[in-house]
Amino acid sequence: MELLGTVVVLTIKSLIFIIGMFLGAAYLTLLERKFAGHVQQRPGPLHVGPHGFLQPIADALKVLTKEDLVPDSVDKVLFYLASLMAFVPAIMILAVVPFGDPFTIFGVEIKPYITDLNVGLLLALAFGSISIYGVIFAGWASNSKYPMIGGLRKAAVLIGYEVALGFALVGPIMMAGSFSLREIVEAQQNMWFIIPNILAFVVVIFCILAETGRTPFDVQEAEAELVGGYVTEYTGMKFGLFPLAEWYIATFVLSAITVILFFGGWNPLPLMGWLPIPAFVWFFIKVFLLFMFFLWVHWTLPRYRVDQITELAWKVMLPLALANIFIVAIWIIIFG
């Protein structure tokens, strides 16, 4: 009976998370388009609903009703699998992201996270890596040159930055003494981990930009050279899932993990603890600010070459991550 209850609660919770993430991602597209527009001194979508507020819904309807073409020469199984492989792992990272402390409503204790695994961070890293296989599969299965080049570029970027990302996350783990994201947040009540881990934070920012294919590292799409890269052969909603997964869901979820690791999760901002704002609102404010930072970077910078990207990964980011581990170790020895 208890098992059944757990299953029902988990199902409901997962549905809420997934639907919320879908709607959230839809509106993140609007946010991005508005931001991009204003950066370029144009207003962005404006006419569907008040100030373009219903534009994501119109876009979703349009993309869903588009003709879904599958080219003859593609590898059918991988072709279908690729869009799912890009999308599902990205949303599965949500399973380990805690959005706040457990709280009680009407005598029922509600935990605003799906699971509190003791290897949560590793799981998030693993899913983040798997979602990149979607891009590589798409490049291979399309049986076309541009997607192939895009997929291979993504693989090259991935190999460099996964290593650096893994090492960069060691710092907060060392300070918290746990892989569980909830315990990492609880360890930051007095001081955020950004203080000794500033190098790791820089590395993580670069790694997230590289992993989600946002601008300085968007070599796998590179619309000027690769006509859209790995999505060249895709149409309809299969095409729509890739940017949805990569640019919005993955960026959002990885921002959430960065906030948890470096900015104290749902702890209030310093000197603002007296404000009557619930914990999860603090969390979403921080995630939103970080997401906006990624948008800002995206709509500012031009693209690196592939060799520059790998050079940056191996010659700069990896040593920085290792140096961060050293600094944190000394910090722990001195300050306990």
Partner 1 sequence: MVKIKYIDRPGLTNRERVFFVDFIKGMRITLKNLLRKTVTTYYPFEKLTPPKRFRGTHAHRVKNGKEPPSFKVLEKFMDIKEGESRCVACYMCQQACPVPELFKIEAVQTPEGKKRVTRFDMNLLNCMYCGLCTEACPVDCLIMTDIYETASYHRAGTVLHLDDMARRAVDFDSRRFDEPDRIWIDDQERSKLWGQIKWS
The residues that touch partner 1, with contacts defined as CB under 8 A, are 35, 37-43, 46, 296-297, 299-301
Is the CB of 22 or the CB of 314 nearer to partner 1?
A: 314
Nearer to partner 1, 206 or 282 (CB): 206
Neighbours of 123 (CB within 10 A): 17
What six digits make up the tokens of 144?
A: 């076309």
Burial state string for 182-216 with b = 16 or more CB within 10 A and e = fewer than 16: bebbbbbeeebbbebbebbbbbbbbbbbbbbbbbb
Alpha carbon 306 to chain centroid, angstroms: 22
Q: 279 or 297, CB closer to partner 1?
A: 297
Return the HEC string of 117-162: CCCHHHHHHHHHHHHHHHHHHHHHHCCCHHHHHHHHHHHHHHHHHH
Name residue 103's beta-bridge partners: 110
Q: Which residue's CB is nearer to partner 1, number 65 or number 300? A: 300
**Of 149 and 209, which CB lies nearer to partner 1 in the complex structure?**
209
Residue 45 CB, shortest distance to partner 1, in Å, is 12
- Write the CB contacts of 117 (distance below 8 Å, at least 6 apart in sequence): 96, 123, 179, 180
Closest approach, Cβ 197 to partner 1, in A, equals 18
Q: How far is the CB of 164 from partner 1 (least distance, A)?
A: 16
Rounded to the nearest whole angstrom, what is the least distance from the CB of residue 215 to partner 1 in the complex?
A: 11
Q: Indicate the residue among 149 and 295 with the shorter CB distance to partner 1.
A: 295
Tokens of 8: 């029902």
